[in-house]
Amino acid sequence: MKQTYQSIRINAPVDKVWDTIKDFHDLSWAPNVVTKCETVGDKSGSEIGAKRILNDAFHEALIELDNATHTIRYSIDNGPSPVSPEDVKGYVGHVHLLPITKDNTTFAQWSSSWESDSEDAVEFCHTIYVALLDEMANSIG
């Protein structure tokens, strides 16, 4: 199983960060990475099974949204190489926020895992998630 893991400290309370990112259909906090987020179907961004297409390329589905643990899990069901269905199987992304109680800030983690014979998706995904975490920190904190 291939995987990536990225993290960042955000200078804002966990509830503020969560309120900003918890809507699966709203990535307005990352305008330099996500230029278009198209909702697919009629499920809201807080309903399991909600679907979206990012930047006309990445077809994703929400598989977990937990307000109590500040957790989002989603699948990438289709996209360009190296995350296409021909390149990877069972792709799951995971965003998790934790409060840093000492100074009322947030520890944000973004990880992903999938099955593949190739290493190509590792650096590709790592680069995207680092950029998304930077956007999160800059727009919220």
Total domains, the chain: 1
**pLDDT for residue 108:** 98
CATH of the domain at 119: 3.30.530.20
Pairing of the two strands 105-115 and 71-78: unpaired
Its pTM stands at 0.94
- pLDDT the model gives residue 91: 97
**pLDDT-based confidence at 141, cuts 50/70/90?**
confident
Asked if pLDDT for residue 31 goes beyond 90, the answer is yes
User: Which of 59, 39, 38, 64 lies closest to 49 in space, CA to CA?
Assistant: 64
For residue 31, what are the domain limits?
2-140
